[in-house]
Structures are given as structure tokens and as C-alpha cells.
Amino acid sequence: MADPLLQVRDLHLALPDLNAPRLFGPAPQVGILHGLTFDIPRGATLGIVGESGSGKSTLGRCLVRLLEPTGGTILLNGDDITHASPRDLAAHRRDLQMIFQDPMSSLNPRHSVLRLIADPMRLHGIQDADAKARDMLDRVHLGRRFADRYPHQLSGGQRQRVGIARAVGLSPRFILADEIVSGLDVSTQAQIIRLLEELVADMDLTLAFISHDLSVIRRLCREVIVLRAGQIVEAGATSKIFSAPAHPYTAALQSSIALPELDEGWLLS
């Protein structure tokens, strides 16, 4: 059994039901996640797939503890973070990073690229943040000449590289990547995927990768969980699950998304 970095047991989440008619008192709760159990081994990239509304992003937000589960447990490196208070979570914040789908909305438009990468490092007490941020610009293949640019001067792919540099620059234990290539054209997607593969191999990253794009999941993730209506309907080796899905939902998911296979010819440098 691989050494788990994250252990998720019987995870439940309910949120106030904003659609429910409400006359008096607190809004009734609606269940979103229903008893999820899985591990993310150290150094692995776990794929999370499922149709829109199946709970992928909500699960991701629980994993990085932006949401507090209503039941079950999440262990990070053996520490129970399920109900950790904001104060206790501060000790784990550096270890639980996110890369967002739309880096434009997560990058302060008034900050230079160097500052965008160096500020989180300074916040977490990392010494020589500017020098390390310049190193990260090289690692994500932007190069140091991008240090003084601003987000609006970058392409979507370049902005996503900045988002990756911000997260990876903190050397976190775990990174959640939520639909991070969805807004990009096909060749830029391929470049970002290749970059992630490189960083995962070189820096021993542990990732959860949420995507509706099964070809991307097949490329990046050895293991996958398939969500439907907040439950895991299938989990295991990506190759096995997509070549012989045991659940009709997985088969339907696969056939409803007709995407080209990722192969070397498709990848542009």
C-alpha cells in the first residue's frame, strides 16, 4: 500500500440550501457529498472526474479545507484537519495550495509577475523570496524577462504558468488543480500538461487534478475517482477504468465527451 499523504474517510458535506423556500429560521441543509472514502498517495496525481454538478469542486475545496466537512475525516500527513480551526489551519496553509481555472481572477492585476510569485513566499516566511520567484519563472519556462510584466500583458497560458509558479513555489505537500486547462486552446493545454508532468516528476508533487476532459486525466493521472451526485461510483487505475468501466455512468461519461487522444504528435513544445 502506497504511503498516503491525504486520507479521506466517509466524507460528508451539507450546505445551506439556497433554493429552498425559507420563511423563518436557518436555511435547510442540502447534502452535496455523501460518504467519500479514498487515499491520495504521496507523489501521486489523482484524477477527479464527473459530470457538471457531481461535486468535484466542492470535494476539492474540502481537501484544501476551504470548506469544513460536516462528517467523516481528512488526514493530511497523519494530522486530522477535518475541523481544524482557522488558527490551526494556518500551520497547514502552505501545504495545501490551489491552482485555479481562471488565473486572471486570482491574480492581482496591479502586481507584477515577480511580486505575484514572491508575495505568497514572503507571507509564509520564505527567505530570499524575490530570488526564489525568479528561479520559479525559469522552472515554469516563462523566463526572468517576465518578472516585470503585469497579468494583462500575459496570454492565458502564461498567466496559468504564473498561477502554477505561485502554488509550486511554496513547495506545498498537496496541490489541488481545478479545471486548470479548461479555458486554454488545445496546444496551450498540451504545454501546461507537459509542464505539470515535469514539475510532478522533478519536485515530487502530490496533486488532485479535477477535469471534465478525460483525455487529460488519462495522460496525467494513474488513479482516478469518478463522482456522481456527490458519491464515488468508481475508483482505481485510470487505464483500467476507462478501458473497461464497471459502472454504466463512467461509460456514459466517457462516450459523451468525444475528445482526441493525447499523444506525442498532439503535444506542441
Ligand X SMILES: Nc1ncnc2c1ncn2[C@@H]1O[C@H](COP(=O)(O)OP(=O)(O)OP(=O)(O)O)[C@@H](O)[C@H]1O
Which is nearer to ligand X, 55 or 151 (by Cβ)? Answer: 55
Nearest approach in angstroms of CB 13 to ligand X is 9
CA distance 154 to 249: 39
Whole-angstrom CA distances from 54 to 82, 145, 213, 240 are 21, 41, 14, 22
Nearest approach in angstroms of CB 208 to ligand X is 12
Nearest approach in angstroms of CB 233 to ligand X is 13
Backbone angles phi, psi at 86, to 5 degrees: -50, -35
CA-closest candidate to residue 222, choices 246, 238, 210: 238
Whole-angstrom CA distances from 216 to 31, 66, 106, 189 are 29, 25, 23, 9
For binding to ligand X (CB under 6 A), which residues are involved?
15, 18, 30, 32, 50, 52-58, 212
CB 161 within 8 A of CB 181: no
- Which DSSP helix (H) or strand (E) runs through 254? helix 248-256
Nearest approach in angstroms of CB 143 to ligand X is 33
Which is nearer to ligand X, 56 or 219 (by Cβ)? Answer: 56
Nearest approach in angstroms of CB 245 to ligand X is 18
Which is nearer to ligand X, 18 or 23 (by Cβ)? Answer: 18
Nearest approach in angstroms of CB 227 to ligand X is 7
Count of residues in the chain: 269
Which is nearer to ligand X, 64 or 170 (by Cβ)? Answer: 64
Which is nearer to ligand X, 25 or 78 (by Cβ)? Answer: 25
Give CA angle at 39 (213, 210), nearest 5°.
Answer: 20
Which is nearer to ligand X, 62 or 113 (by Cβ)? Answer: 62
